[in-house]
Amino acid sequence: MSLKYLHTMVRVKDLEKSIAFYELLGLKETRRMDSEGGRFTLAFMAPPGQEECPVELTYNWDGDEGLPSDSRHFGHLAYRVGNIYEVCRHLMDNGVTINRPPRDGHMAFVRSPDNISIELLQEGDNLAPAEPWASMENTGHW
């Protein structure tokens, strides 16, 4: 089973102020993605020479009034996997709930025993839709 660490996501209330803070720590912005449809910006910041280990700063354009007091700062850990269906099957066979099944052959979410959200992303192209994943409903939240 192949697994590669991708990033840790945190929600931020003020993107520019957060970027300035992480820059003070020595991190540099390595890439940015704006989503008009989703109304958010993702800014990835990493230490020089460690671009493969970024922190993803997620900024919701319409605000996130619960921040900083609602424990929504920390979002999830993300891992790239060789075969998302095999990984999800292995997890399910060992009692792990698949909160967001990989219906698209690309992305799934599970939670650790400590309720930490874990994003699993298919390496390369999306796998073709397959059962039981294609028709599986979400369970809980991620």
Beta strand extents in 47-95 (DSSP E only): 55-60, 74-81
- Catalytic residue, from 29, 36, 86, 119: name it: 119
How many angstroms from the chain centroid is the CA of residue 116?
11
Q: Please, what's the b/e burial string for 105-126 (b: 16 or more CB within 10 A of its CB; e: otherwise)?
A: bebbbbbeeeeebbbbbbeeee
131 among known catalytic residues: no
Active-site residue set:
119
